[in-house]
Amino acid sequence: MFTLLNLTNMITTGIAVLGFIAISAMFLIWWERKVSAHIQTRLGPMRVGWHGILQSVADAIKLLLKEDIRPAGADKLVWWLAPFFVVVPSVMAFATIPFGKTLIPKDLNIGVLYILAVSSVCVLGVFMAGWGSNNKYSLLGGIRAAAQIISYEVPLILSMITVVMYANTLSMQKIVESQSHSWNILHPNLALAGLIYITSATAEVNRAPFDIPEAESELVAGFHTEYSGMKFAMFFIGEYTNLFIISAIATTLFFGGWKGPLLPGVIWFLIKTYSIIYILMWIRWTFPRLRVDQLMGFAWKFLTPISFLNLAIAGWLLL
Amino acid sequence: MPQAPIVTDYSFVGSFFIFGIVFVAAAFIISWMLRPNDPNAVKTAPYECGEIVKGNSRVQFNVSYYLVALLFVIFDIEALFLIPWAVVFRQLGMISYIEMMAFIFILLIGLFYAWKKGIFQWQ
Tens of pLDDT, residues A50-59: 888 888 888 8
Task: Choose among A164, A225, A319: nearest Cβ to B47.
Answer: A225
3-state secondary structure of A17: helix
CB A164 within 8 A of CB A112: yes
**Domain annotation covers residue A13:** no
**What is the rounded distance in angstroms from the CA atom of residue A288 to the CA atom of residue A286?**
7
- pLDDT, tens digit, for every residue of A30-65? 999 899 899 998 888 888 888 888 888 888 888 888
- Which pLDDT score is estimated for A213? 67
**Domain annotation covers residue A162:** yes
Q: Is the model's pLDDT at A67 over the cut of 70?
A: yes
Q: Does B86 touch chain A (CB under 8 A)?
A: yes
Beta carbons of B27 and A234 less than 8 Å apart? yes
Task: Please report, rounded to a whole number, the percentage of residues in chain A having pLDDT higher than 90.
Answer: 14
Q: Does B120 touch chain A (CB under 8 A)?
A: yes
3-state secondary structure of A319: coil
**Domain annotation covers residue A312:** yes
**Per-domain residue ranges of chain B:** 4-117
Task: Choose among A112, A135, A158: nearest Cβ to B46.
Answer: A135
H-run or E-run covering B74: helix B64-92
Residue A155: cis peptide before it, omega within 30 degrees of 0: no
Residue of B nearest to A15 (CA): B19
Domain B4-117 has CATH 1.20.58.1610: yes
Could you give the number of structural domains in chain A?
A: 1
Residue of B nearest to A64 (CA): B31
Domain that holds residue A311: 75-318
**Domain annotation covers residue A299:** yes
**Domain annotation covers residue A15:** no
H-assigned helices in chain A = 4-39, 55-65, 76-93, 111-119, 122-132, 136-167, 172-177, 188-204, 216-219, 229-254, 265-284, 292-297, 304-318
How many beta-carbon pairs under 8 angstroms link A with B?
Answer: 211
Beta carbons of B79 and A146 less than 8 Å apart? no
Q: Is the model's pLDDT at A1 over the cut of 60?
A: no
- pLDDT, tens digit, for every residue of A123-145? 888 888 888 888 878 888 888 88
